[in-house]
Structure 1
């Protein structure tokens, strides 16, 4: 296996190798969960694959989700049993084999308002949910659902308003740190030989004499250099940017994708008394109250979005909507003062049909793979849980008849940190005793790194001060940010604050108080001088201030204007309109 270490140096080397005369079998455009999954799938088939992302890994949709790995109860109402079974199979595969360190079981209550018919109706639906999950081979990944009386429901969630429900159905799904999942998939792909480069934007798709897409022009946003990359197949996995990327092929074909905005608020764990999550139906969407580490994640919304795709924001109206719907079932109403953070993301909603002249394989109601022009494959739609299936479908489609000779094997490829996890868990108490870490801290480390915790221990052994928690963000150790800079493709302070950690919405000041110490740790690793440090801190500070201003804006248009007051640390090149 190749190295999974991702640095500025390995990034430069990857771009150089992508643009060498040998060319690639597959070039993947887009570094969200789908693109990362495609890179891993193609690499483990033995193909020469490269993946480029215009910003940081998972910086689009894949770091702003509800952070759930689930089958989708709502699809049962649509009688889409195959889709639910597929998602549940992937959920259980992740939790049992592929990423048991990253994916955690979470119990949820589905509150009931009607004593007889609703309990029977919801209970039958959740029983079917369990049954579809049980079709998967091996032991069950989740407990079976249970009916809860009002008394038991109130014990499990004391802050549920007494008159909000007559009882509940309890079931289990799973949660995941979405950005961490993507980074781990990318590093696993690199370990199997994939060439990976973030902050590298595809600005053109090239064609041969026959009109077939034969590669791309890639702009290294860090240096301004333009590179010609040859590839037998280019796969577009750019989510809400799908149509912009398709347009680079000078074709009128492809998929139609619309952006829908979903926002979440973050509330301290002690503010709401409860040991389980809640799922609630609203007039517009499903609302989750999700227990997560030291806080609750509450959301989401589902509204059409026609503004800046790079920086969707949670506006005052969005935040008030989520608070109001949560308060409908909470004993003590939430206020804006209870909210310590917010975040917003865009769902790429696949529109019916394809553009004229497009060949496609509609492999799921959730996602579609298409080819607007020979040599270019496009995939859109889907969700976090089914990323592996989407990746398989995209590579199968791109390879055509060759796929039968090189079948996907990612259902048997554990992600980094999964192999050896049990053994490291048994040794973890020694580390806790040696370094004075609490049980919660050890659990946090195992959840984020799995068996790669041993790599962090090696760093601490060489530099003992890394074992300390960050002074102004004690949920994280100094070694975690050092590890991010040394191993996890960090190019900017923003990468650490927003995606390698979640400080941007986990603490009230968006991690600004912790930023100087974080810079002290990562600057020597990244080779930053005082000028670099000042530039990085100023850029992150401006972004935080703009996000705060946007959260006070009444609507998306005003929110966009507020957010655009802060320039990007590495701006993307504007592409021709789709």
Structure 2
């Protein structure tokens, strides 16, 4: 099995392999969760795969979610009963097999309004959901139950008592989105995928018959350097950018897709009193309040969008609209001053004229938009593996090959010995001379690879130090991001490996100089290069 490390040297080797003229079975364009999942699905079935991403891994919509791996309870609200078992099964697969180190159960409450109709509807939805879930994944998730308003307020003291009649208590799951993307991608690399970030597809290539046979690409780190990547089949998994190429090849898709922006915010844990997540069935669409260690993630507020796809802006009116909907359920409203950070993700929804809201992004749309090319529209973090399985099933028919999917039983990197290390975390911490809290949090980000990280600390004890300005993180995590997780810039490290932007009101600015010192030393940057990287990060935040 191949080395799973992603770094500058690996990138150079893989680009050289692409340039050498090898004809891959599949070229995947787009390194978000869908692209990473498709690369893993293909590579684990024995297909040769090349994957390119124009930016950093997961830099687009996949790094701008609210971090839910949901069991689909809101789908039942929209009467999408037939899909619930599949969604719940995918959540169970991640919890039990593929990513137990990354995906965690979390209790939620769903406030019940006064009125017998509302009460019957919510209870009915929950228990139908539970029956479907348990039929597919036994033992993974505790059953839902109803509770009175007093118990609901004990679990979530910030809940406004009136006009509540109680709540439904149920479990869902959460994940740190970019950690899942990087882990899936590295697992694909372990199975032989050839991958490179900051390589942009500039032109789709065709043979004499018009069949797509690869792409002309540009190395973003070597301005002007272009080369061709050849493949028997190409997949567009470019998120909000997918339509630019797909609609030219299949104009009829224009009536089926709609671009929307989803806005999420974070507020300090102290702004809301509660120990459980909250599901709010607002008139427009469900909104969730998800508690993390230092903050709450609240979202998503969605609206149609036609602006910059690379840097979608969060407008004041977006934040105000989200706060207005949430505050109607809270005894003490969240103020605008409480909002530490806000971010937006952009993705295509599949238009459904029969849908109550006119569009749905519940299920991805996999379309052959031309001979030799498939495009992915929409999707969800929960469904990445099933999306990939269905995509490769479809492509294998074109390639006249068939090998069954393995990914439902394939632990992602970090999962294999996670349970063993978790059960011995206190002794692991004592042996390493580290705080058990740090070891526990690292295990829930890196799984059994913590053992390799501790080996780095043994070689270089300074890496055991806490990061100034972000004391919940250790310096070894910076080096790990560079050596194993494909971070190429200071911003890659801070925003999408350490994820400080969502955890700190200053978006990681206080910690940035100390992180820059570690990165500069590890990458042998000059003082000029270090200062330029720091300036780039600060100007963007």
Q: Same fold (TM over 0.5)?
A: yes
**3-state secondary structure, aligned to 1:127:** helix
CA contact (8 A) 1:287 1:298 kept: yes
Distance 1:254 1:238 in 2: 16
CA contact (8 A) 1:19 1:230 kept: no
Query: What is the match of residue 358 of structure 2?
Result: none
Query: What is the match of residue 356 of structure 2?
Result: none
Query: What is the match of residue 239 of structure 1?
Result: 239
Query: What is the match of residue 411 of structure 2?
Result: 414
Query: What is the match of residue 463 of structure 2?
Result: 466
Q: Deviations over 1:319-338 (max 9, x none)?
A: 11222222212222211221
Query: What is the match of residue 431 of structure 1?
Result: 428
CA contact (8 A) 1:111 1:279 kept: yes
The question of 1:543 aligning with 2:540 is answered yes
Select between 9-18 and 183-192 the one with higher mean Cα deviation: 9-18
**3-state secondary structure, aligned to 1:416:** coil
Distance 2:2 2:124 in 1: 49
Offset of 1:19 from its aligned partner? 2.4
> How many residues were matched structurally?
532
Query: What is the match of residue 130 of structure 1?
Result: 130
The question of 1:277 aligning with 2:289 is answered no
Q: Deviations over 1:381-417 (max 9, x none)?
A: 2211011111111112122165762122111111000
Query: What is the match of residue 376 of structure 2?
Result: 379
Query: What is the match of residue 548 of structure 1?
Result: none
CA contact (8 A) 2:432 2:454 kept: no
Select between 250-259 and 294-303 the one with higher mean Cα deviation: 250-259
CA contact (8 A) 2:362 2:380 kept: no
CA contact (8 A) 1:240 1:257 kept: no
Offset of 1:524 from its aligned partner? 2.1
The question of 1:525 aligning with 2:486 is answered no
**3-state secondary structure, aligned to 1:215:** strand
Query: What is the match of residue 219 of structure 1?
Result: 218
CA contact (8 A) 2:278 2:288 kept: yes
CA contact (8 A) 1:242 1:257 kept: no
Query: What is the match of residue 165 of structure 2?
Result: 166
Distance change >3 Å, CA 401–CA 53, structure 1 → 2? closer
Distance 2:433 2:116 in 1: 52
Query: How well do the aligned residues superpose, as a CA RMSD in angstroms?
Result: 1.8
Select between 389-398 and 430-439 the one with higher mean Cα deviation: 430-439
The question of 1:390 aligning with 2:403 is answered no
Distance 1:272 1:115 in 2: 27
**3-state secondary structure, aligned to 1:161:** coil
Distance change >3 Å, CA 333–CA 435, structure 1 → 2? farther
Query: What is the match of residue 87 of structure 2?
Result: 87
Distance 1:228 1:252 in 2: 26
**3-state secondary structure, aligned to 1:28:** strand
Gaps of 5+ in 2: 354-360
The question of 1:313 aligning with 2:313 is answered yes
Distance 1:516 1:291 in 2: 29
Distance 1:180 1:421 in 2: 15
Distance 2:141 2:264 in 1: 26
Distance 1:536 1:257 in 2: 38
Q: Deviations over 1:314-359 (max 9, x none)?
A: 2111111222222212222211221111111113212469xxxxxx
Distance 1:166 1:300 in 2: 25
Offset of 1:116 from its aligned partner? 3.6
Query: What is the match of residue 181 of structure 2?
Result: 182
Query: What is the match of residue 12 of structure 2?
Result: 12
Query: What is the match of residue 25 of structure 1?
Result: 25
Distance 1:144 1:267 in 2: 30
CA contact (8 A) 1:99 1:414 kept: yes
Partner of residue 490 from structure 1, selected from 487, 502, 506: 487
Offset of 1:418 from its aligned partner? 0.5
CA contact (8 A) 1:45 1:409 kept: yes
**3-state secondary structure, aligned to 1:211:** coil
Q: Deviations over 1:259-305 (max 9, x none)?
A: 21111111111221111011112232211111112111011111001
Select between 287-296 and 89-98 the one with higher mean Cα deviation: 287-296
Query: What is the match of residue 574 of structure 1?
Result: none
The question of 1:502 aligning with 2:499 is answered yes
Q: Deviations over 1:217-244 (max 9, x none)?
A: 1111011211111100001111111112
CA contact (8 A) 1:126 1:145 kept: yes
* Equivalence map 1:44-443=2 (5 Å): 44-114=44-114, 116-137=116-137, 139-224=138-223, 225-246=225-246, 252=251, 257-351=257-351, 366-400=363-397, 405-434=402-431, 437-443=434-440
Distance 1:136 1:250 in 2: 39
Distance 1:351 1:532 in 2: 47
CA contact (8 A) 2:98 2:412 kept: yes
> What's the TM-score once normalised by structure 1's chain length?
0.89
Query: What is the match of residue 564 of structure 1?
Result: none
> What's the TM-score once normalised by structure 2's chain length?
0.95
CA contact (8 A) 2:56 2:198 kept: yes
Distance 1:160 1:352 in 2: 34
CA contact (8 A) 2:350 2:377 kept: yes
Distance change >3 Å, CA 435–CA 316, structure 1 → 2? farther
Select between 435-444 and 57-66 the one with higher mean Cα deviation: 435-444
Offset of 1:250 from its aligned partner? 6.0
CA contact (8 A) 1:253 1:372 kept: no
Q: Deviations over 1:54-98 (max 9, x none)?
A: 101111111111210013222213322221111111001100000
CA contact (8 A) 1:238 1:245 kept: no
Distance change >3 Å, CA 440–CA 326, structure 1 → 2? farther
**3-state secondary structure, aligned to 2:301:** coil
CA contact (8 A) 2:87 2:382 kept: yes
CA contact (8 A) 1:233 1:375 kept: yes
Distance change >3 Å, CA 54–CA 539, structure 1 → 2? same
Query: What is the match of residue 444 of structure 2?
Result: 447
**3-state secondary structure, aligned to 1:325:** helix
